[in-house]
Structure 1
């Protein structure tokens, strides 16, 4: 993540194509199209899934801008603007992409996700220097789709939006990432979900770095990777993306792989009755978003014990749970997407605390 690193773009392009082919071959085996909902649930890397949505809307915005330059109509008319905005919002909930069009879109998103993880300074610089008519709105959208390293890049991006002619934002950006450069394990942790699909060779990815300045962790990862890439099938879940993102729909996909022992699932009626009978007023309807009631120790515990030490997977779970409309829908999502696949002990302390948070979100005072 240091400024001296040079990334092998040819390798990134090759890896992105291979990765996209694996994912698309898996998804489109029995499907002709992919929807917005399915894109959000596509891989275990929530950041990559969001990057795909961002690429989609970036392309769409370019087409809309080109369309609005038609000389025969007044696109500045308020009625036209309102109608166009309504049309775009409706259309955003009707994403339907064939494999031939989706595979290169996913490939671009994979390449940008790798760059964001390994060299975030370069990535943020490039997206801000592209030039935008409404910088403040652009940064707002960027914060919606770029979740990694937010504390390091958001202050600089907001300075850029306030004064795009000044270069002081670059200094703030570099300063924001100074502490990140000391944590050489961060890119490996962020890209771990991609490694589940296809192993990523960091020695090939990062080139022209003297051995004394290259983090040892990059060499260590090569000892751990398998010779053959690993494939996986992601179980579908439910999620809502606000504004121009994707509207949720109900999906239930049964796990086709046989299990040797039956995993106990959560009964929402029993759990609700248990919490509803408790006298503690703190338990009732005190949070609107799960993160509001989640302490640092709880976050660490949930990540480590429930989500296999993967903070990206936990963030995705919390996002999806917050998008549900009721306690019963949230518990159904937990059972289908996490309890079974991650082999949770539903009587454990960490599961109980997570259920308490969900109860507090949906119970009425």
Structure 2
């Protein structure tokens, strides 16, 4: 699943214009309390506040870089904290300044709803200065999926140099079963302001969204991998080379796999991608990490980088066979392997 950034940008601007036109009809400014009550989506309102304070923090950071004064002095730090506390209760923004701020917040909220794993991973990676303090602030403003991402954030706060927080992040979202956290449910308040076109929001509609918007299209018990399953007769044809068979590990035959995918009629199979990540959805990323790369996100990232550097489908499959299929003892008939092969096929299907 890939988000359509052009649609998100257009929607965010139109949405923000509607909100602002309504609020500023009889008012010249908007206050902090009015932002908190801006829409029926509490998360969006908090995201606006977060954008406001992040922009403010950048100004403060720039201000405190002045070489003529010691901003690290305890009295200065206390005075500055007191000043910021007072100023935070005096938010007053004109329409021309508020509308672009809201537009950014809408776009980020859409990302959080549709691709929460990548959004939170990127957000946490950006916390380079005093992560513990920043994460404490983050918990105030990002309420969606908190049970899934908070353990990873706490690990990052405790040990910023340890990257295992990423694994905990993936595991947290994999365990999340709260139906109220589904994208369609989360974004329902947006529909009251400006209807969302979910088919335009993502270039490939995720199974989660489709299951709720068009339930009749999806067959039961085939949510994650129904589009990628290779028929049983084809599975029987995929054979490993002689040395692998002697070792008891079957490898992938690129010719057979290419022929199968090349004749596939399913629309999810079509559409070239320049990089494998472009076509990789949240569910796939979690699944690949856990089931193919032993729960190690760094190992998966390295594999994707190496696969993207190959120059042909056959070279990519050769890399899989020699670097991963054997060493990690993959079942090449598994759905997760088939989904990875499909992504590789899409990278080279225009050749």
TM-score, normalisation: structure 1: 0.56
What are the within-5 Å matches in structure 2 for residues 188-203 of structure 1? 188-203=184-199
The equivalent position to 2:82 in structure 1, one of 83, 86, 90, is 86
- Residue deviations 1:3-37 (CA, integer Å, cap 9, x gap): xx211111111100000000000000000000001
What are the within-5 Å matches in structure 2 for residues 173-188 of structure 1? 173-180=169-176, 186-188=182-184
- SS of equivalent residue, structure 1 residue 148: coil
1:47 & 1:188 partners in 2: Cα distance?
14
Alignment partner of 1:140 is 2:136: yes
Q: Structure 1 residues 213, 96: CA separation in 2 closer, same or farther (over 3 Å shift)?
A: closer
Q: Structure 1 residues 207, 180: CA separation in 2 closer, same or farther (over 3 Å shift)?
A: farther
The equivalent position to 1:73 in structure 2, one of 69, 74, 85, is 69
1:165 & 1:69 partners in 2: Cα distance?
26
The equivalent position to 1:100 in structure 2, one of 92, 96, 99, is 96
1:109 & 1:185 partners in 2: Cα distance?
19
Contact 2:144–2:181 under 8 Å retained in 1 = no
Q: Which residue of 2 aligns with 1:43?
A: 39
Q: CA deviation at 1:167?
A: 1.4
2:93 & 2:76 partners in 1: Cα distance?
27
Q: CA deviation at 1:126?
A: 1.0
The equivalent position to 2:210 in structure 1, one of 207, 215, 218, is 215
Q: Which residue of 2 aligns with 1:16?
A: 12
Q: Which residue of 2 aligns with 1:236?
A: none
Higher helix content, 1 or 2? 2
- SS of equivalent residue, structure 2 residue 93: strand
Q: Structure 1 residues 220, 94: CA separation in 2 closer, same or farther (over 3 Å shift)?
A: farther
Q: CA deviation at 1:166?
A: 1.6
Q: Which residue of 2 aligns with 1:154?
A: 150
Q: CA deviation at 1:215?
A: 3.0
Contact 1:151–1:176 under 8 Å retained in 2 = yes
Q: CA deviation at 1:130?
A: 1.1
In structure 2, runs of 5+ residues without a counterpart are 217-351
- Residue deviations 1:253-291 (CA, integer Å, cap 9, x gap): xxxxxxxxxxxxxxxxxxxxxxxxxxxxxxxxxxxxxxx
2:139 & 2:178 partners in 1: Cα distance?
24
Q: Which residue of 1 aligns with 2:124?
A: 128
2:208 & 2:8 partners in 1: Cα distance?
22
In structure 1, runs of 5+ residues without a counterpart are 222-365
TM-score, normalisation: structure 2: 0.59
Q: CA deviation at 1:213?
A: 8.4
Contact 1:184–1:217 under 8 Å retained in 2 = no
1:207 & 1:78 partners in 2: Cα distance?
52
1:126 & 1:120 partners in 2: Cα distance?
10
Whose radius of gyration is greater, 1 or 2?
2
Q: Which residue of 2 aligns with 1:253?
A: none
1:102 & 1:38 partners in 2: Cα distance?
12
Contact 2:183–2:209 under 8 Å retained in 1 = no
Q: Structure 1 residues 55, 214: CA separation in 2 closer, same or farther (over 3 Å shift)?
A: closer
- SS of equivalent residue, structure 1 residue 73: coil
- SS of equivalent residue, structure 1 residue 29: coil
Q: Structure 1 residues 51, 185: CA separation in 2 closer, same or farther (over 3 Å shift)?
A: closer
Q: Which residue of 2 aligns with 1:255?
A: none
CA RMSD after TM alignment: 2.0
Q: Structure 1 residues 213, 157: CA separation in 2 closer, same or farther (over 3 Å shift)?
A: closer
